[in-house]
């Protein structure tokens, strides 16, 4: 017997091995199908030449698996089966398998009768799919015919699609995010996915059913490309290595007579095609249901009444938000595809932020929008990032995946996994800035030039074009500077005050630094495992701490005087009156409100003139915007406001409530009109209703409850009521979390009143579909409730009454 690895003279595999040696040096055709077929055919010839003629009636040697489909790669296993009807297997094995082993080939072999095949196929999906690829090499072809007939009978009552989709779901679970170093065979959207399409069609053919789907040119092109790159990896590594790892990319590109960027793009786009085709063909894949939304931002848009037209982003968001997982029906696809390029509305902007906040389901929905041509037509500034490769070894993902992962990492930072980052995020006035910055920070990639500068221009113009006018500059600054902190922390002397001053200047102010710091961390975490270590986290934190020390002390004092001037100008009032107003408000008021909001408070408070309340809408009167309400502070004020807004179809997205020392409440609400097709009520009407509610002539609680009734949640019926006891607080803090819907604030406030509580301040907020409200209350005597024996039954009672009222 020859030594292992050497081939004895006369071994029929000599030609195959010579062909493989030759193909390692240069491919046949495009390196894909042509190469695979040449290898398969050479193997066929060698195995057929070894067939023992004496067994021709009771034995067939068949190729199975990839070899069966003539997709044999350079160093793939040789999968053969001895299909027999009682043949002498010892003779067959010696004749057919020994030469393969002697040639040091890795052989996947089995010996079965038709009946044994069916038993094995019933037990294992892998065996079943392998048998679906059966191809006769030599011997009794009737046995193969019998096997196909038996398989057809077995498959009549056994759907295959759900099992293939389950396998695909497992592949996705391994890699939630598409990666650059993908496994081309078993990875997400890889060759297994394309083979699964083939198996579905093969089953239909065997059983005599219509094809579930046709093989498209797109599918075939992506499939061929992956076969070619897989062969290139085998040729470069000299073994069956299917992962597109950085070390092999240059060699693979050379083998394909191409360059690494082109080959990498071929890989990422082909994998994306496989992934998306699977999503389209197996709608119940629903892998994206795994992650939910937790975004501290504006409240989710309310469900629209039936019959309202849905814009593409709203449709995509609604599809992604379905409890059963992302489902995009054919009608929805057609409706989106029909839109083409369109102007952006406030709803579109709101839904874009909503999609970003949805995480993996939002990413999948955006994938649909891309497939349907919407991204190219309406977000052309980022269309080039989709499946664009990144060659630097530390980049784990294609560009668009990295952008989405950065968004996800940002959501993680904001939602409080690490209190250090969550506290910083809480200070960023507009959380949409963080999402947009994360989503656009690498928009300049794959275009040539300095990607930060190119990206800043793209991001700024995109924000302006789609109506994020106020965020255009801050987002562009974030994109321009997104490498600044990481580069400074690692490459510059951060103990040098000149360096710190220069970097601080580029950050502009503390909010600018905070947003940039969070983006830097999210970006590093999203890049890959090697880019985010405790070492780097410490370096960045040290730099951030030092920069805060440079930025914060002096600018804050300067800012106050500048802001007072600006407020006075807005309010057409003297600067000392603006200062007196600010000084009469609780700490943090100046920092927590914009100049125009404070000016509106000042102006309305001065103009109350005996009235109980006054209302002003600052902007966005058509669909969404800010509303300022000033009134004499008294129990029931917030309830009246919340109820009146509900009556007028205005949903409160978030709210900031304060009272001046002289008893004037100055409240600011982010509102959204829930019925955009119905004209919004005039401010005077809202003001009149609020006045009537405060005077008791309008039963606002009943009207609001009636208005909110159609929206009552049938969802998870989530409710948390708690009161952290802190004897140092001036007020008792009660936190309430529940499912979000229109009118929910009004309902909560009514229950707090019913419990005898006076709301002195509140923070109204939403994370995803959860309302998170914090109320600072006093009891009937005007004192905080500090005794836990008094507080516990109060909270239990609130919990019961709220559950009844909300659900």
For another protein, the binding residues (CB under 8 A) are 489-495, 533-536, 538-539, 541-542, 545-546, 548-549, 552
Collapsing DSSP states into helix, strand and coil, what is residue 698?
Answer: coil
Closest CB to another protein among residues 46, 547: 547
Report residue 255 CA to chain centroid gap: 36
Give the closest residue to 353 by CA, choosing from 412, 406, 310, 295: 295
What is Dmax (Cα atoms) for the chain?
A: 112
CB of 592 to another protein, least distance (A): 17
Query: Kind of pairing, strands 107-112 and 78-84?
Result: parallel
Q: How many residues does the chain have?
A: 807
Closest CB to another protein among residues 137, 524: 524
Q: What is the rounded distance in angstroms from the CA atom of residue 679 to the CA atom of residue 619?
A: 16
Closest CB to another protein among residues 280, 591: 591
Give the closest residue to 16 by CA, choosing from 47, 51, 43: 43
Collapsing DSSP states into helix, strand and coil, what is residue 768?
Answer: coil
H-type helices in 282-339, by residue range?
Answer: 312-321, 330-339
CB of 129 to another protein, least distance (A): 42
The H or E element containing residue 764 is: strand 758-767
CB of 501 to another protein, least distance (A): 16
CB of 491 to another protein, least distance (A): 5
If you search the block for the tokens 């208005």, which residue do you land on?
707
Distances (CA, A) of 277 to 149, 159, 188, 273, 695: 30, 19, 12, 6, 62
CB of 536 to another protein, least distance (A): 7
Closest CB to another protein among residues 338, 392: 392
Closest CB to another protein among residues 143, 510: 510
Give the closest residue to 345 by CA, choosing from 566, 623, 31, 553: 623
Q: What is the DSSP string of 601-663?
A: HHHHHHT-TT-SEEEEE-S-TTSEEEEEEEEE--TTHHHHHHHHHHHTTEEEEEEEEEE-TTS
**Burial degree of 658 (CB within 10 A; 0-12, 13-18, 19+):** buried
CB of 297 to another protein, least distance (A): 25
CB of 506 to another protein, least distance (A): 17
Closest CB to another protein among residues 509, 622: 509
- Which tokens is 241 given? 């290595």
Closest CB to another protein among residues 496, 662: 496
Collapsing DSSP states into helix, strand and coil, what is residue 465?
Answer: helix
Q: What is the rounded distance in angstroms from the CA atom of residue 672 to the CA atom of residue 666?
A: 19
**In this structure, are residues 510 and 548 in contact, taking their beta carbons and an 8 Å threshold?**
yes
Query: Kind of pairing, strands 732-739 and 664-673?
Result: unpaired
Q: What is the rounded distance in angstroms from the CA atom of residue 626 to the CA atom of residue 330?
A: 38
CB of 502 to another protein, least distance (A): 14
Closest CB to another protein among residues 498, 714: 498
Name the phi and psi angles at 455, rounded to 5.
Answer: -65, -40
If you search the block for the tokens 């968001």, which residue do you land on?
317
Give the closest residue to 407 by CA, choosing from 450, 357, 361, 365: 357
**Sheet with strand 78-84: strands edge to edge:** 107-112, 78-84, 59-63, 135-139
- With a CB cutoff of 8 Å and minimum separation 6, the contacts of 506 are 481, 484
CB of 4 to another protein, least distance (A): 25
CB of 544 to another protein, least distance (A): 9
Closest CB to another protein among residues 493, 677: 493
Closest CB to another protein among residues 294, 492: 492
Collapsing DSSP states into helix, strand and coil, what is residue 301?
Answer: coil
Say what angle helices 399-414 and 510-527 make with each other, to 10 degrees: 120
Collapsing DSSP states into helix, strand and coil, what is residue 295?
Answer: coil
β-pair partners for 632: 664
CB of 494 to another protein, least distance (A): 7
Query: Kind of pairing, strands 59-63 and 78-84?
Result: antiparallel
CB of 185 to another protein, least distance (A): 30
H-type helices in 134-244, by residue range?
Answer: 141-156, 161-174, 191-207, 217-237
CB of 247 to another protein, least distance (A): 15
- Which tokens is 674 given? 């829930």
Rg (CA), the chain: 33
Closest CB to another protein among residues 289, 492: 492
**In this structure, are residues 370 and 382 in contact, taking their beta carbons and an 8 Å threshold?**
no
CB of 434 to another protein, least distance (A): 20
Closest CB to another protein among residues 225, 543: 543
CB of 545 to another protein, least distance (A): 5
Closest CB to another protein among residues 495, 789: 495
CB of 521 to another protein, least distance (A): 15
Closest CB to another protein among residues 22, 542: 542
Closest CB to another protein among residues 392, 684: 392
Collapsing DSSP states into helix, strand and coil, what is residue 529?
Answer: helix
CB of 104 to another protein, least distance (A): 25
Name the phi and psi angles at 760, rounded to 5.
Answer: -95, -30
- Calculate the dihedral angle through the C-alpha atoms of 489, 516, 484, 540, rounding to the nearest 10 degrees: 10
Closest CB to another protein among residues 237, 403: 237
Closest CB to another protein among residues 385, 488: 488
CB of 267 to another protein, least distance (A): 29
Determine what percent of the chain falls in helix, strand and coil, rounding each to the nearest 5: 55, 10, 30
Closest CB to another protein among residues 4, 529: 529
């Amino acid at each position: 017997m020859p030594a292992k690895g050497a081939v004895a003279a006369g071994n029929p595999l000599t030609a195959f091995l010579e062909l493989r040696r030759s193909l390692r040096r240069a491919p046949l055709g495009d390196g894909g199908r042509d190469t695979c077929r040449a290898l398969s055919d050479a193997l066929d010839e060698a195995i057929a030449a070894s067939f023992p003629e004496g067994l021709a009636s009771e034995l067939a040697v068949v190729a199975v698996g990839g070899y069966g489909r003539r997709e044999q790669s350079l160093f793939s296993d040789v999968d053969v089966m001895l299909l027999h009807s009682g043949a002498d297997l010892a003779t067959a094995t010696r004749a057919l398998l020994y030469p393969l082993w002697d040639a040091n080939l890795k052989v996947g072999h089995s010996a079965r009768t038709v009946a044994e095949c069916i038993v094995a196929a019933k037990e294992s999906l892998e065996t079943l799919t392998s048998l679906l690829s059966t191809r006769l090499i030599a011997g009794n072809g009737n046995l193969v015919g019998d096997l196909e007939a038996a398989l057809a009978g077995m498959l009549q009552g056994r759907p295959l699609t759900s099992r293939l989709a389950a396998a695909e779901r497992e592949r996705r679970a391994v890699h939630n995010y598409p990666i650059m170093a993908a496994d081309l065979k078993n990875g997400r959207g890889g060759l297994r996915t394309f083979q699964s399409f083939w198996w579905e069609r093969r089953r239909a053919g065997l059983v005599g059913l219509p094809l579930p789907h046709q093989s498209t040119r797109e599918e075939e092109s992506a499939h061929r490309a992956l076969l070619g790159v897989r062969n290139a990896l085998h040729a470069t590594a000299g073994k069956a290595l299917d992962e597109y790892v950085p070390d092999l990319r240059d060699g693979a590109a050379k083998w394909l007579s191409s360059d690494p960027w082109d080959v990498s793009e071929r890989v990422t786009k082909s994998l994306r095609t496989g992934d998306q085709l699977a999503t389209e063909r197996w709608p119940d894949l629903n892998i994206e249901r795994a992650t939910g939304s937790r975004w501290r931002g504006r409240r989710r848009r309310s469900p629209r009444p039936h019959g309202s037209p849905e814009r593409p982003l709203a449709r995509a968001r609604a599809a992604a938000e379905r409890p059963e997982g992302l489902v995009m029906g054919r009608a929805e696809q057609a409706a989106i595809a029909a839109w083409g390029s369109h102007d952006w509305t406030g709803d579109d902007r709101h839904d874009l932020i909503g999609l970003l906040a949805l995480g993996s389901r939002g990413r999948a929905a955006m994938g649909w929008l891309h497939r349907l041509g919407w991204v190219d037509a309406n977000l052309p500034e980022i269309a080039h990032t989709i499946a664009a490769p990144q060659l630097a070894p530390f980049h784990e993902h294609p560009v668009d995946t990295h952008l989405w992962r950065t968004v996800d990492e940002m959501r993680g930072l904001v939602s409080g996994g690490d209190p250090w980052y969550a506290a910083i995020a809480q200070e960023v006035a507009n959380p949409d800035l963080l999402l947009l910055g994360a989503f656009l920070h690498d928009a300049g990639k794959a275009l040539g030039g300095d990607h930060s500068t190119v990206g800043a221009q793209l991001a700024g113009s995109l924000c302006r074009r789609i109506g994020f006018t106020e965020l255009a500059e801050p987002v562009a600054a974030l994109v321009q500077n997104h490498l600044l902190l990481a580069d400074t922390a690692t490459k510059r002397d951060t103990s040098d005050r000149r360096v710190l001053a220069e970097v601080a200047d580029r950050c502009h102010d503390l909010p600018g630094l905070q947003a940039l710091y969070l983006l830097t961390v999210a970006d590093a975490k999203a890049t890959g495992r090697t880019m985010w270590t405790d070492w780097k986290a410490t370096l960045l934190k040290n730099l951030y701490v030092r920069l805060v020390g440079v930025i914060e002390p002096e600018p804050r004092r300067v800012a106050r005087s500048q802001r007072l001037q600006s407020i006075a100008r807005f309010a057409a009032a003297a600067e000392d009156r603006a200062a007196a107003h600010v000084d009469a408000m609780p700490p943090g008021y100046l920092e927590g409100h914009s100049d125009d909001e404070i000016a509106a408070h000042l102006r309305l408070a001065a103009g109350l003139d005996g009235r109980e309340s006054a209302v002003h809408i600052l902007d966005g009167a058509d669909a969404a915007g800010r509303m300022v309400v000033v009134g004499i502070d008294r129990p029931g004020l917030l309830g009246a406001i919340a109820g009146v807004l509900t009556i007028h179809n205005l949903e409160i997205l978030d709210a900031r409530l304060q009272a001046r020392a002289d008893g004037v409440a100055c409240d600011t609400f982010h509102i959204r009109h829930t019925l955009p097709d119905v004209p919004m009520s005039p401010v005077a009407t809202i003001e009149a209703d609020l006045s009537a509610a405060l005077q008791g002539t309008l039963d606002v609680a009943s009207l609001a409850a009636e208005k909110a009734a159609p929206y009552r949640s049938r969802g998870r019926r989530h409710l948390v009521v708690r009161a952290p006891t802190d004897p140092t607080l001036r007020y008792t803090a009660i936190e309430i979390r529940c499912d979000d819907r229109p009118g929910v604030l009004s309902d909560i406030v009514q229950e707090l009143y019913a419990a005898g509580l006076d709301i002195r301040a509140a923070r109204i907020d939403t994370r995803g579909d959860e309302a998170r409200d914090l109320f600072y209350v006093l009891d009937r005597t005007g004192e905080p409730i500090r005794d836990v024996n008094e507080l516990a039954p109060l909270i239990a009672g609130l919990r019961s009454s709220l559950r009844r009222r909300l659900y």
